[in-house]
């Protein structure tokens, strides 16, 4: 959906990032990093009801979420490859993960409570023993 001011301008007069033809200015979108980021953006936007259902501010947060997710995944690969993580790397990972959680909450991440009600058979068998 076009914003009021951008809706008056032709698509060809907008930036490639704004009109959706480029992920980032002057960046080849074929790199693994860019493809993963694009995939994550699409997945998160779909979770929020599709691109047309979210505001530009929410899209901006989703871009930040995708960026942090890709970088956290890169750190995880480095940890796994090295077989360990330094204290500084773990600190950066933890702070980044915390920021990611806050951004996800800002766009509507919600905790889904798990049903912990015991199965009737398990309950009966547990009390019989």
Q: Give the pLDDT confidence of 13-60 residue by residue, as tens digits.
A: 766 666 666 677 678 888 999 999 999 999 999 999 999 999 999 999
pTM, to two decimals? 0.72
Q: Which pLDDT does position 125 carry in this prediction?
A: 80
pLDDT, tens digit, for every residue of 51-105? Answer: 999 999 999 999 999 999 999 999 999 999 999 999 999 999 999 999 999 999 9
CB-CB contact of 27 with 34 (8 Å): yes
Q: Which pLDDT does position 117 carry in this prediction?
A: 82
**Distance of alpha carbon 11 from alpha carbon 30, whole angstroms:** 23
């Amino acid at each position: 959906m076009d914003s009021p001011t951008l809706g008056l301008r032709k698509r060809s007069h907008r930036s490639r990032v704004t009109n959706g033809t480029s992920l980032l200015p002057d960046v080849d979108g074929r790199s693994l990093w860019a493809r993963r980021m694009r995939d994550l953006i699409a997945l998160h936007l779909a979770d929020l009801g599709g691109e047309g259902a979210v505001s530009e501010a929410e899209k901006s947060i989703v871009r930040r979420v995708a960026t942090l997710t890709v970088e956290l995944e890169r750190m995880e690969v480095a940890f796994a490859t090295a077989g360990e993580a330094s204290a500084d790397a773990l600190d950066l990972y933890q702070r980044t993960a915390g920021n990611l959680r806050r951004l996800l909450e800002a766009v509507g991440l919600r905790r889904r409570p798990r049903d912990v009600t015991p199965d009737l058979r398990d309950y009966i068998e547990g009390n019989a023993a």
